[in-house]
Amino acid sequence: MNKKIFLIVMAGLLCSKGLLAEEMVKSYTGDEVVVTSSRVEESKKNVTSSITVIGREEIEQSSAHDLGELLAEKSIGHIQKYPGTMTSVGIRGFRTETHGNDLMGKVLVLLNGRRAGTGNLAKISTGNIERIEIIRGPAAVQYGSAAIGGIVNVITSRGNGKPGLFFKQEFGSNDYTRTTMGADGKSAGVDYSGSVSFSDAGDYKTGAGDEYKNTGYSDRTVGNVNIGYEFLPHHRIGVIYNYFDVRKAGSPSYLSQNDLDAYTSQKAYSTDFIYEGSTGNRRFSWMARYFTGRDEYLYADPGTSYSSTNDVEHKGAQAQLTYDDESLRVTAGVDWIRYDLESTLAPYSSEYENPAYFLLGKYGFMSDRLVLTAGLRYDQYDVTISEGQGSSRRTDNLAEQVGLAWNVSDALKLRASYAEGFRMPSARELVADFYSWGTHYIGNPDLKPEKSRSYEAGVDIDYRNVKSSLTWFTTDFRDKIQSTAVDGAMSWINIGGATVSGLEAEFSLALHPFGEEWKIEPYVNCTWLTKYRDEDTGELLTYTPDLSATTGIRVSDQRGFSSVFNLAYTGETRVQNWEDWSGDIVVKGGYAVANISVSKKFLVDEDKKNGRGITIKGEIDNLFDREFQYVKGYTMPGRTFTIGLGADI
């Protein structure tokens, strides 16, 4: 029933031809600039793959407080969210890794173009974010291992304009409180932008009224600072610092088996040092970066006196040089990343090192009406398990990509691309030799990387007040790594794979029924998988819904008022049932969740749309108080209210 209602709503929005014809009065606005696809700034009209951008205005209008909540609201893939602070996302049938690091994931999360070191989206706040760029489909040529399903690139705000300060206080259901403060601006060549928030939340009730104990958290701190100095024209040095810390987050297990005292304690932090420069005519540009960080995770169950830790230290470097004479652009570069993992669970200590070399090219014909892109990347991997629990192994991978974009007119673009993705085997899978809980684990040094080949074709429309895109894709996934029993021990082998095909659509229509001051914008985003089968078993893939979609409406004026109603739907999903310890495959029903937010900014200067002022914002999540689960057994909160008061000066 939910699916039928949702499809009817979407059809109504998409088929409003009368409104569309009457209201298409604005001029073409295209030429949005993005960076993720080519690792340098370029016009979105020259991108040959499917890319979605969530801008600062949408982020501020949303009721989401972290990256996971935002992607769930936008239906960017399939969300798996647990109580506390753990969220992953699946794109085109592949997902991020939520535990500790991104080595085991198949969707890659980036912070300002480099590996974030985590696949847990709950660790990334929506504060101080300029925009989020999402590439659907493989991006191994640009970013290496784990970019099979796609890329989520979180781009930090950079200070610009008159210096200012801001402060916000929020209160909500379930004893929720959050205090946020920050500053931004630019003066004497120094730009800065930063924010920090402190929050707490208590246990919540489900939509059915059941109290879900041990679901709250305390002393959660999230911060980001981006500081730069332009010491010469076209030469900037910068430092970016990211911080996440939650002292205690409940780990309640399933609602039916509610654990009242288990908890996690998590901390993640990183620092980037960046130099960017170019010649005066920008014919040549370059970037160099060094970054380092750490991710710490503790699980404790006082009732059983059991605890475990998993700590990951990562460091890396990037260097690239770009030649751009408008028609021809070539970028060559080097990436290097190293992970050091320490755990109380076997294997206790392992290392992963990855130097890589890439070449990306773009050539434009007919004044960039026709754009050809291509890329090549070579990765080398060294993995080690120490302390007598394994050995070392070196392996490598070569990835390719090619794409074509035809800008038929300023408003219409046709595109097609071929891209490869891969995930390198982990140290455990390649070189393990240890015992854990009575089981002997032996690595397989002959394992090949998991690989994918993806083809897609699409059309993008950006005409006056209409923005729309439609993409068809198919992904052939091969050499899946699967655990297996070998001579009484556990090891890993490469098996067949899967085929995932489908359609992705986006549509929005900006209406101005009361003049230019007011904007009413209905929108629809949808992913429909037409094929998603495991080729070895013939069964549908698990944790992969056939349909995920969002529809809603945004309303705003030029004097500080904005409101968003958003309805997100996720279709039926085949999952493993661990709630009864069987692991049997069951079908988890679909669900629809509605959120609404309303805000009003009282401007100090009424003539400035984005001037300083006082903002009041109210939010209702799960508006219709539905009982639903992102993960089977972990029921989410019922209807919740939040009210906030902010000031920027």
Cβ 469 vs Cβ 451: under 8 Å: no
Cβ 156 vs Cβ 226: under 8 Å: yes
In this prediction, residues 372-387 reach a mean pLDDT of: 95
Grouping H, G, I as helix, E, B as strand and the rest as coil, residue 185 is strand
All domains of the chain in start order, with CATH: 2-618+632-648 (2.40.170.20)
Q: What is the largest distance, in Å, between two alpha-carbon atoms of the chain?
A: 77
| Residue 468 amino acid letter | S
Q: What is the distance between the alpha carbons of residues 197 and 496, in angstroms, rounded to a whole number?
A: 46
* CA torsion angle 314 319 320 321 (round to 10): 170
Cβ 107 vs Cβ 95: under 8 Å: yes
Reported as a single tens digit per residue, the pLDDT across 47-100 is 999 999 999 999 999 989 999 999 999 989 899 999 988 999 999 999 998 775
Cis peptide before 347 (omega within 30 of 0): yes
Please report which confidence band the pLDDT of residue 1 belongs to, taking 50, 70 and 90 as the band edges.
Answer: very low
150-156 and 190-201 beta bridge pairing: unpaired
Q: What is the pLDDT of residue 27?
A: 34
Cβ 639 vs Cβ 623: under 8 Å: yes
Task: Give the Å distances, CA to CA, from 348 to 90, 103, 381, 390.
Answer: 29, 16, 20, 10
Annotate 308-322 with DSSP letters as a single string. Answer: EEEEEEEEEEEEEEE
Q: What is the pLDDT of residue 607?
A: 54
Tokens representing residue 508 in the block: 């929005």
Reported as a single tens digit per residue, the pLDDT across 494-553 is 998 999 999 999 999 999 999 889 999 999 999 999 999 998 888 999 999 999 999 999
Q: What is the pLDDT of residue 170?
A: 98
Average pLDDT along the chain: 92
Q: What is the pLDDT of residue 100?
A: 58
Percent of the chain past pLDDT 90, that is, above it, reads 86
Tokens representing residue 361 in the block: 């090219």
Q: What is the pLDDT of residue 293?
A: 96
Q: What is the pLDDT of residue 604?
A: 80
Burial 449-465 (b: 16+ CB within 10 A, else e): bbbbebebebebbbbbb
573-577 and 306-324 beta bridge pairing: unpaired
**Helices and strands, counts by H and E, the chain:** 6, 42
* Phi/psi of residue 121, nearest 5 degrees: -70, -20
Reported as a single tens digit per residue, the pLDDT across 391-441 is 999 999 999 999 999 999 999 999 999 999 999 999 999 999 999 988 999
Reported as a single tens digit per residue, the pLDDT across 116-145 is 999 999 999 998 999 999 999 999 999 999
Q: What is the pLDDT of residue 300?
A: 97
In this prediction, residues 324-329 reach a mean pLDDT of: 94
Q: What is the pLDDT of residue 408?
A: 97
Cβ 547 vs Cβ 527: under 8 Å: yes
Indicate if the pLDDT at residue 332 is higher than 90. Answer: yes
Q: What is the pLDDT of residue 599?
A: 97
Q: What is the pLDDT of residue 288?
A: 99
Sheet of 489-494, strand order: 433-436, 439-442, 489-494, 481-486
In this prediction, residues 228-245 reach a mean pLDDT of: 97
Burial 135-148 (b: 16+ CB within 10 A, else e): bbbbbbbbbbbbbb
Please report which confidence band the pLDDT of residue 603 belongs to, taking 50, 70 and 90 as the band edges.
Answer: confident
Grouping H, G, I as helix, E, B as strand and the rest as coil, residue 446 is coil
* CA torsion angle 91 34 229 336 (round to 10): 50
Q: Please provide the size of the chain in residues.
A: 649
